[in-house]
Chains A and B, each alone.
Chain A
Amino acid sequence: MGLSSRKAIYIPFPQAVPCSYILNMEDCLGNNPIACGKCAEVCEKNAINYDDQDEFVIREVGAVIVAIGLDVYDPTEMDEYGYTRFENVITSMEFERLICAGGPTAGHFVRPSDQVRPTRIGFIQCVGSRNPSIGRPYCSNICCMNTIKDTLLLADHYPDVKNVVFYQDIRAFGKSFEDMFQRSKKVGTRYVRGLPGDIEEDPETQNLTITVENTTSGKLEHHELDMVVLSVGVVPPEDLKKISGLLTLSKTSDGFFMESHPKLKPIDAPTRGVYFAGFCEAPKDIKESVCQAGAAASKVGGLLNAGEIHIEAITSVIDQEACTMCGVCAPICPYSAIVWEKGQPAMVIEAACAGCGACAAACNFNAITMRHFTDDQLLAQVRAVLAEKPEEKVFVFACNWCSYAGGDMAGISRLKYPSTNRVIRTMCSARVSEEMVLEAFLCGAPVVLVSGCHYADCHYINANRQTVKHVQRLWNKLERAGVRPERLQLEWISAAEGQKFANVMRQMEELRQTVTAEEIEHAREALKPKPKKEKKPKTEKEEADKEETPEEEAETVTS
């Protein structure tokens, strides 16, 4: 803020942990040769080593806790609040420095333009939060309580200060938070429901005038203030992308890390052995961060002290001889558990494989076997189910975690739906290969449904996006073969959606009744596999090109 100067050797702030000095080599007069050296002379513990350099340290670890924190939203892009134009518009972080006893003004709260103590202070909430137009639709969770705390702090230090808070909602849902909010109102803080549209500055006094529509009264109000504090939201840290790549972690649409399961595994990353603590997973306050850090530490303790770990029994195995080294499987794996180098057969890291089976469904050369859910096993199930009166059956592939459980939920809830469906369980809907669907049609299934988890619920990070690709390709294939593509359906059904499962089964039955015997027979003929020609193995590029070809209209679909 330019309010005070700092020496070349300093403690970042009085409460810093560890409370040790930092030597800023950019400001130091130099150490080669040593130009000043006074700090080393006075350090009794000889803790200053000018030769110490940054270095990479390699450590082997059994688990990783990702706690990379947050960044604060930079309000320069929201020019309507004048952060770049008016000196007396500051952010909540700058407010903290001004009011802090260890800050540049030793805790004497003054406004930047003239170093005079302000008496009328405005706080604008949700700057960089809950604003889809700037790509930040989420609530930052901490700003409301931070502002309430600031108003109480000001009232305590300077009883004559008048605070006005401009807000859209006050979210005070933690323990004692509502009490704090009421205390803030009692000490005279005025809460105006409505976010300002504009701020103007008086060039002489540098006072600020805020124009706001008070949505409670429906009136336009003008507030003259000495200073405005922008209650800035939080954003994912800059390093998040880098860490995400290193540990194969996925992100939510907000840009924070995605946990393994929002309710049952909120600490775990989808990559085993990796845990989250704090803001990098989602905006949260100190108390929640501390809870999460404790939980992560205890999970790591459990893992490291277990002596032995159990790996998933349902994993993929690659037949090294059958592998054509095309590399199609490697980028598909959500866990990066497949290692492939050009000219080398692919290999599965079994400890990292979670068993979704997306790779096995994608392999065109049957080189990947999914333990416990092999192609032969699944195809045998398809044939067995459709061995008798296939025309009377709706064939359903359901994923283990959501859709199959959704079917269970429908049953437990005693919901009525047609009894014509026959469900086959796979671990993930991405395990359902094109061959399996076509086999169902070849066996005479009038309707085939592929069902899986909703996007946000996918138990294998994002494996079900592959399901969409398979189904899109199959729709194209069916259409080319003169088979009504509508006979193949796709639905996302969660474990709690028993009602949806029942509704979908009713719709499938209605659809089944529209399929004629001639259509079934035509599909059987049209989809018959043609005698195989000697194929040369596809390269990864050819596979990608195929997906982009315009004739294949819908190949590159991710939704």
Chain B
Amino acid sequence: MAIEYFKCMMCGHDWEEEVEKGEDVERSCSQCRSNSIRRFKSKPTPKE
């Protein structure tokens, strides 16, 4: 298990989650239900 970071590319909601190696999970944003979920291995730095 490793912590990974996710960001919804529709509403901008971001969160972190424990991820199992080789998992096969369909993700959606808990706020807007969009499937445009970008995944980061390290915490993304907010842009100016």
Q: Which residues of A contact B (CB under 8 A)?
A: 253, 454-456, 462, 465, 471-472, 475, 485-486, 488-492, 507, 511, 550, 553-554, 557-559
Least Cβ–Cβ distance between A494 and chain B, in angstroms:
11
Closest chain B residue to A457, Cβ basis: B26
Check B41–A486 contact: CB distance below 8 A: no
Check B38–A475 contact: CB distance below 8 A: yes
Check B40–A490 contact: CB distance below 8 A: no
B31 on the interface (CB 8 Å rule)? no
**Binary flags per residue of B3-20, CB closer than 8 Å to A gives 1, else 0:** 000000110000000000
Question: Contacts of A489 on B, CB cut-off 8 Å?
Answer: 9-10, 34, 36
Question: Contacts of B34 on A, CB cut-off 8 Å?
Answer: 489, 491, 507
Extra contacts, 10 of them, besides A486-B10, A507-B34, A558-B25 (Cβ < 8 A), are A253-B24, A462-B24, A486-B9, A490-B37, A491-B35, A492-B35, A550-B42, A553-B39, A558-B24, A559-B39
Check A490–B41 contact: CB distance below 8 A: no
Q: Could you tell me the distance between the alpha carbons of A554 and B39 in the complex, rounded to whole angstroms?
A: 5
Partner of A550 from the list B10, B38, B41 (CB cut-off 8 Å) is B41
Check A553–B26 contact: CB distance below 8 A: no
Q: Could you tell me the distance between the alpha carbons of A490 and B9 in the complex, rounded to whole angstroms?
A: 9
Question: Contacts of A550 on B, CB cut-off 8 Å?
Answer: 41-42
With A486-B9, A486-B10 known to touch, is A455 a contact of B24 (CB < 8 Å)? yes
Check A465–B24 contact: CB distance below 8 A: yes
Check A553–B40 contact: CB distance below 8 A: yes
Question: Contacts of A471 on B, CB cut-off 8 Å?
Answer: 36
Check A558–B23 contact: CB distance below 8 A: yes
A253, A455, A491, A554 — most chain B CB neighbours (10 Å): A554
Question: Contacts of A488 on B, CB cut-off 8 Å?
Answer: 9, 36
Check A559–B23 contact: CB distance below 8 A: yes
Least Cβ–Cβ distance between B26 and chain A, in angstroms:
4
Closest chain A residue to B44, Cβ basis: A553
Question: Contacts of A485 on B, CB cut-off 8 Å?
Answer: 9, 38
Check A472–B36 contact: CB distance below 8 A: no
B22 on the interface (CB 8 Å rule)? yes
Question: Contacts of B41 on A, CB cut-off 8 Å?
Answer: 550, 553-554
Closest chain B residue to A252, Cβ basis: B24
Closest chain B residue to A503, Cβ basis: B33
Least Cβ–Cβ distance between A439 and chain B, in angstroms:
20
Q: Could you tell me the distance between the alpha carbons of A173 and B36 in the complex, rounded to whole angstroms?
A: 39
Closest chain B residue to A462, Cβ basis: B24
Chain A to chain B: the 7 pairs with minimum beta-carbon distance, closest first: A455-B26, A559-B25, A554-B39, A557-B39, A490-B36, A489-B36, A553-B40
Question: Contacts of B40 on A, CB cut-off 8 Å?
Answer: 553-554
Closest chain A residue to B25, Cβ basis: A559
Check B9–A475 contact: CB distance below 8 A: yes
| Sample (5) of A-B pairs whose CB atoms are under 8 Å apart | A454-B26, A471-B36, A492-B35, A553-B39, A558-B22
Check A559–B9 contact: CB distance below 8 A: no
Check B27–A559 contact: CB distance below 8 A: yes
Q: Could you tell me the distance between the alpha carbons of A489 and B41 in the complex, rounded to whole angstroms?
A: 20
Least Cβ–Cβ distance between A374 and chain B, in angstroms:
28
Q: Could you tell me the distance between the alpha carbons of A152 and B42 in the complex, rounded to whole angstroms?
A: 59
Least Cβ–Cβ distance between B11 and chain A, in angstroms:
9
With A472-B38, A550-B42, A559-B39 known to touch, is A507 a contact of B24 (CB < 8 Å)? no
Least Cβ–Cβ distance between A262 and chain B, in angstroms:
15
Partner of A490 from the list B24, B35, B42, B44 (CB cut-off 8 Å) is B35
Check A492–B26 contact: CB distance below 8 A: yes
Question: Contacts of A462 on B, CB cut-off 8 Å?
Answer: 24
Closest chain A residue to B27, Cβ basis: A559
Question: Contacts of A253 on B, CB cut-off 8 Å?
Answer: 24
Closest chain B residue to A456, Cβ basis: B26
Question: Contacts of A456 on B, CB cut-off 8 Å?
Answer: 26
Q: Could you tell me the distance between the alpha carbons of A471 and B36 in the complex, rounded to whole angstroms?
A: 9
Question: Contacts of A455 on B, CB cut-off 8 Å?
Answer: 24-26
Check B24–A553 contact: CB distance below 8 A: no
Closest chain A residue to B22, Cβ basis: A558
Q: Could you tell me the distance between the alpha carbons of A486 and B23 in the complex, rounded to whole angstroms?
A: 25
With A485-B9, A486-B10 known to touch, is A559 a contact of B38 (CB < 8 Å)? no
Least Cβ–Cβ distance between A502 and chain B, in angstroms:
14
Partner of B10 from the list A507, A553, A554, A558 (CB cut-off 8 Å) is A507
Question: Contacts of A557 on B, CB cut-off 8 Å?
Answer: 39
Question: Contacts of A554 on B, CB cut-off 8 Å?
Answer: 38-41
Question: Contacts of A558 on B, CB cut-off 8 Å?
Answer: 22-25
Q: Could you tell me the distance between the alpha carbons of A225 and B39 in the complex, rounded to whole angstroms?
A: 54
Question: Contacts of A553 on B, CB cut-off 8 Å?
Answer: 39-42, 44
Q: Could you tell me the distance between the alpha carbons of A486 and B36 in the complex, rounded to whole angstroms?
A: 9
Least Cβ–Cβ distance between A475 and chain B, in angstroms:
5
Question: Contacts of B38 on A, CB cut-off 8 Å?
Answer: 472, 475, 485, 554
Q: Could you tell me the distance between the alpha carbons of A434 and B33 in the complex, rounded to whole angstroms?
A: 25
Least Cβ–Cβ distance between A60 and chain B, in angstroms:
34
Q: Could you tell me the distance between the alpha carbons of A192 and B9 in the complex, rounded to whole angstroms?
A: 49
B34, B35, B40 — most chain A CB neighbours (10 Å): B35
Q: Could you tell me the distance between the alpha carbons of A451 and B8 in the complex, rounded to whole angstroms?
A: 16
Least Cβ–Cβ distance between B19 and chain A, in angstroms:
8
Least Cβ–Cβ distance between A467 and chain B, in angstroms:
10
Least Cβ–Cβ distance between B29 and chain A, in angstroms:
11
